[in-house]
Structure 1
C-alpha cells in the first residue's frame, strides 16, 4: 500500500527495502543502501523514510548533503555529518568519540588553523573510520547522504574506505545518487556504488493513476482526468515536477480543469526552472533578493549572513524568508545557536533561483559573500569556495585567502582541495614576492593530483630562483615527477644540475638527489647506463648519517642486489634501516623501498619486517595512502615467501584497496601479481587468473610488467598452458634485460621457462636454462632463490646428481624463513626418493615434513601432492599440528597475546590497525586451536607445549 502520509507514491518495494536495511543495522549488520535515479524521482523522500525508521528504532541518525558550491570544501560532507554530534555532546561524551586513533581526525573539524603542516591523507581517513566506529558504540548508526554525486573528494574517499569495514558493524550508510549529473570524482564514486554488499534502489516514475492521486491531494477542487493526463505527460511521472506544478497552479489560482490542460503541455526538461520563475515573479523585490543571496551562499545559509548579502536588515530579511516559505521555495530551520538557517526545498529549486541571477552580477555577489564570511570568522575554505567563482583581479588579499584555505585543506589531508585553491591563486596572479612560494606550494600539492600540472608549476619555480638549496628542494620532487610522466631525460637533468650547484656543506641534500636518480634508474627508467656508471664511485663514498645519506645507501644496496648479486648489499641496507629513523622521515620514498627490496630478496627478513611494521604504524598515525599501500604490498611479499598465505592475502588486498583509493596505478601493477601468486599457492587458480586480468599488461608501461609476466607464467604452467607459459617467461626475460635485472631472487623467469620446456618434452633446453640460474643464485646466496634453483636443477638433472641437488636444496632452506619453498623442496625430494628406491621408507620422512609444512602454510595444492606421494610411498600422514600454540598464524598469535594482557577487542583492533570484527575472527580461531573458551585461559594455553 502506498504510504501517502510521507508523500511516497508507488514506493512499496523501496519502502520495504529501507525498513529492512534499518532493521538489519539494529541487529548488527551494516552496509550501503543506495537510492539511485534522476532528479525529483523521490530519492530524498526515501532517505527521509530511513531517517524516520532509524529514529523509531533507536538508532543515531547523522545526515549530510553534497552541494555544487562546496564540492571543493575538504571533508565538507563529513563535517556536516559529525559537527552537530560533536557540538551537542557533553565533554565526557565528546572525549569518548575521540578515543584512540579517532583523535587523528580532530583537525578535520577545526574551523581555523586545523594544524601546522599537511596531514597524511591516510592518517585522517583512519581517524575518521574510528570516529565513526566510536559513534556507533551503544547505538546503531545511520549515515544519510543526499546528492552523493556532489560530495567532495575527501569525503568520498572516507566513504570508500569506510564501507568495506562496516559489514559486521552496526553502521548503515544510506545514500542518494542523482543520475545524469557530472560527479565530483568519476573514479572514486564507482568504488562506493559498486560495493558488493550494497543494496541498490532505483525508483520508477509514477504511473498515470498515482499522478492523479498526487494531484488530487495537492490541488484544491477536483482534478479532471484529461488535466491529470496532461500533467503526467509533461512531467514524465516525476514526483518533484508534479508537486512544483501543483504549487505553481495553486499560487496562480489555476484550476485542474480540462480546459487548462493545454497550460501544462510542453513544459519540457526545464520545467522546474519555469515553474519556480512563475512563483518568483509574484515575490516582492526584497524576498527575491533574499532568495538569490541564499542561492549564492549555498544550502543552510545563516540568515545573519544572508541578510547583509541581500542588503537587508534583519526584519526585512525575516519577512522575505516568510514569503519564500509560504510559496514553498525555501524553508527556515532553527540554528543550533538560536538563529535561523535558510534551506531550499530541493536542489533543483536552488539551481533555478541561482540561474535567475544576471551573470554579470554573480561574481560581485560571490566576492561580497567571501568578504562577509571572512569578517564573520568562517572557515577559510568556505571563504575560498566563493573566491573560486570570482574573476582574477591581481588582489593580494585574495591570494592570501586562497593560500590560507589551501593550507587548511592540506592540514586536513585533502591535496585536491589544496591544489584547487592554489591554482586559482596563481590565476589572480600573486605579487612578485608571493609568486615563487605559491608556485612551489601548487606544485607540491599537484603531485598527488595532476602530474603534468605539478611539473609545470615546479619547473617555473625552479626557473624563478637561483638559490641552490631552494633549487635542490624543488628538484627532489620535480625530477621524480618528470620520470613518472615518462620524461626521464628531463628528470635526470633536473636532479643532476641541482646536485652540481650545491655547496659541500649540503652533502645530505646532494645524496638525497643522487638517491632519487639511482632509484629511478633501477626500477622506473630502463637503460640508464650513465647512472649505473657512477655506481663504483658512489659505493666508495664514506657513510653520511643524514636522511639523504641513508636513502642513497638504500638505493646503492638495491643496485648491488639486482644487477651485481653482491651480498654486500645486505649490510649496507641493514645499516641504513637500523634505528628506524629512515622509516619515520621518508616513509613512501622510492629509495626507502630500495632498502626493503635489498633485504627481502636476501631473505634477511627481521630488519625489513621491523621496518615495514614501523612504516605501517607510522602511516596510520601520520602518513599517506601511497606510503601505506607500498608498505602493505612489500610486507605481503614477505608473508608469501614465509608461507603465511593468509597474512599475505590480507596485506595484498589491503594494498590493492588503498592503491585504488589513491589512484596509484603503479602500486596496483605491483600488487596484482602478488595477490595472483598468493591465490595460486592457495589453490584458487581461477581467481588468480581473474586477478591478473585486472592488469592490462599489453598497454602497461614496461616498468610495471616484469612481475605480472612472472606471475602469469606461473599461472599458465599450473593450468597446463605450457606453450603460453614459455612465451610469457621469455617476455619477462626481455624486460629483465632492459632493466639489467640479473638476480634470480627478483624474477624467476628461468624457473618457469624450464618447467614449461620440460613439459613440452624439450628437457635439454630446460636443463640449460635452469643451469644458467644456479650460478647467480649461488653468488647471491639467499636461501629462497638458491633453494629454488637447486630444486629445479635437481628435478631436471635426474639420477644421483639430481638427488644430490634436491638434498642440497632442502639443506639450504631448512633453517631459512622461506618455508613455502622449503615445503616444495621436501615434496620434490620425497617424490624422487619414492621413485628411485625399492621400498620407499627414505621418502616418507621428507614427505611427512612437507605435508605438515604445506598444511601450516595453507598451500592446499602442495599439501595434496605431498599427501598423495606419501600414500604412494606406503606411509600414513601423521597428525598435523592444527591445534595448540604452534597452529596459530602470526596474526592469531598476536591477537591472542594482546587479549591475554587484558586488552579489549577494540583496543586490539586499534593496536593492530584492523577492524574489531577481524579481531573477533582471529580470537575465535585462536580459542578453537588452543582448545579454550575464555580470555582467562589464554596465558596458560599460549605457553603450553604442543
Structure 2
C-alpha cells in the first residue's frame, strides 16, 4: 500500500525508537478511526526497525468471539530467538496459563496468582532480549486483544521507562463509545505517547493516485472516500483499465530532424480527460471492512443513516432501538473514518452497499419501521411514501391513501417516476375494488404524461371498473375519457349510468364534441347553463368544451375566442388541464386566430419540454403543426407534425393520431413528396378514430393526397364522406375543415365546373365562412370554376382576404391563378408583376402550383402555350427555364440536369431573348408548372 501523509508520524516513531536504543523505553498508542491507515503505519515502522537492526515482536488482536486467552502473548513470544529462551518452554508456560484462566473469572485471585509469575517471566525475557539490541513490541488492533493479554501489556507498559524496549500499539478511536482498552491511567505515564492518524487530505489522495499512475482526479476520489486509505485503494482497484494509445513507430518515436514540426494528432495529441471514479466490488468490500472494524454499533448507525438520511439522531435511536446518547459518538466515528460528510453518508453508493448487505425481509422491516416513525413524527407524505416504496408494502390502513397523496405532490413537482412507484404500491395495497380503481386511474394518468403507450396495460381493468361501478363522479368521467381516447368503449352510454345529472350532461357535451359517433342522436352543443357549483378545474374543462363547441357550430365569434383565451390564462399545465388547454388552443385555430394560438403554443410547448412531459408536448406540437399548415409554412408544418408523432409511440396516440398524421400527410402532399405521403397513408390508424373529429381531419387530408395524385374519384369520395359526417354531427363549419373546396377541386379536375361552382357558393353562405382565410380559399376555387372574365375580380378579392388571413400557401396559389387569368385576358404586364409576387411567396412555402388548377378542366381552356413565345423554346431551354421559374439557382439547375453551370447560363440567355424579358424574375409562371 502506498503510504502518504504519514512522514511526521514515522519521524516521531523513529525518535522514540532511538530513545529506546539508549535505554529510554516508551509506550506509543497509534489511534484513529476505522481503516484510516493505522496498521499500514505500524507495519512500515516495523520494517524500518528491522532494517535498523532492532528485534521486532509482532501480534494482532482477534475479533470478539474468536480470540483465546493470552493469544496476543502467544503471538509475541512464539518467535523468540532460540538460545535466549526456549520457545517451547515459553509456549508451554503460556498454554498452562491460558488453560488456568479459561476456568477462572478474570478478577479471580487464583487466576491472578497463576498469571503474576508468568508476567514477570515474560518481562524478564524481553529485558534479556533487549540487552543485545533494542526490542520493538508491536501489537495491531489492541482493542481486540484478549483480556489476559491486555493485563500483560499493561504490566509491560509500566516498566518501560529504563528499558531498551519500545511498545507500539494501534487502537480504534471509538469517539466516546467506550474507554481505551488499556485504561485511562496509561496515558498519564510520562513515557506514554498517543499518536493520531487522520484520513488523507486531498493532496494526500493526489499523491496516492500519482503513484498508481491514475491521473489527477484527486477531488473526485477524495469526495467519494473522505481520504480513507482503504476505500481509496479499493476505488483504485475498481477503476477500469484504459487502453494506452501507442504511437506508431517511425512517427511519434523516431528522432526528430532539426526544424521538423511534430506530427499533429500523435506527438502533440491532447490528453484525454480522466474518467470519474466508479465504485465497484472492491469498494463495497472495503466499506464493510471499515464498518466491521468500527463495531456492530457503527454498522447499525450506518444502516440507519442509509434508511433515514442525515440530521435525525432521535429517529435513528428509535429506528435502531438504542440509547440516543450512543448515536452521536457513532456518527463522529463514521465521520472520522471518512464515511460521512455533513452528517450523511458520502455517496449514494455507500447507502446502497450498506443496505444490500441485509436480507430483503430485514430491509423491508427497517423501512416499514422508519415509515411508522416518520408518520408518528408528522413527516411529509413524500418522505413516508419513499420508505414504504423501499419496503415494498403498505400494510396499515392509512398507508395507501398517503401514497396517493405523495403521488399527487410528486406529479406537481414533475417527479413522475416517483408518482408511478407510489401509485403502483397503493394499488397493490388497496382495501377494496373502488379504492384500487381510483389508484389505478391515477397510475394510468401519470404514465400517460411521459409515455401514453404505457397506460394501455391498465385499460382492461379500468374498463371493468367502469362497468362494475367501482368509480364515481369525476373519476368515472376521467376514466371514460381515457378509455375513449384509445377507442376502448363500444357503448359509452353505459358511462352515464350512476352519474349526477350535472356530470352526465358534461360528459354528453364532451362526447358530442370530441367523439361525435358516440353522442346521442340530436345532441345539442354548447348549451348555456349555470356552472357556479363546479370546482375550478372542472369549470375550466367545461369552459374549454363550450368554447370549442361554439367555434365548431357557430363559427369563431368573439365570445368563443374570449372563452378560449380565458381558459388559457387561468390554468397551469398539468394532467387535469392538458385536455381543456388543447381544446382552447384548437378553438382559436378553428376560429382563424392562429396568431393568438401560436403565441400560447410557444409558451406551453417550452413548459412541456422543460417538464419532460412527452404526451403534453406531443399534443401541443401537433397543434403547432396545424397552425403552421394553416399559415402556409409547409416545411415547418412537416417538421412539427413529424416531431409530434415521434414524441409518442403510434399506439400511444390513440384516436388523436389523426391530428398530426393529417397535418403531415397534407404538408408532404403539397410539397410534392408523394412517396413520403404514401408511406404515412399506409400507417395503421385506430378504427375508432373515424368516429372522432380527428377522423374528419384525416379524411380531408387523404382526399387532398388523392387529388394531387390524380385519383379524382377517390378524392371526391373522401371529401363527400367528410362532409356528410360533419353535417350529421353538426360540425359543418368551413373554418374547421373546408371539405367543399376539396370536393370542388375534384369536380374541376374532372371538368365539372357547375358542381364546383355550386359547392364553392354554398360554402360562402355557410355560418363561420366569413373569416379571411376561409373566404379567400373559397373565392379562389370559385374563380377557377367561373368564366374567364369573372376570374380576376374574384381572385383579387381572394388575394386581399388571404393577405389578412395569413395563409401564405393559399396566397401564393391565388396570386398564381390571378397571373394566369390576367395573361389569358391579354394583361401581360400585370400578369408578370403578379407572377413575380406569386413566385416570391411560393418560395417561402416550397410548394407550387395549386392543386385546384393542376387538372385539365374541359370548360376552362388554358392560355395559349405560345402567348409569350414559350413554344419557341427548345426542350432543353424549357427544362432549364422551368427550374429557374421555380426559384432554383444556376448551380442547383446544373446538378439537377447533369449539365455545367456555363450551359445553364447559355440556355437562360437564349430563353430571355426569345421571351423578350430581361431576367429570371420575369419568367412566365406557366413554366413553373
Q: TM-score, normalised by structure 1?
A: 0.48
For CA contacts below 8 A with separation 6 or more, give which structure has more relative contact order. 1
Higher helix content, 1 or 2: 1
Task: Return the index of the structure with the highest Cα Rg.
Answer: 2
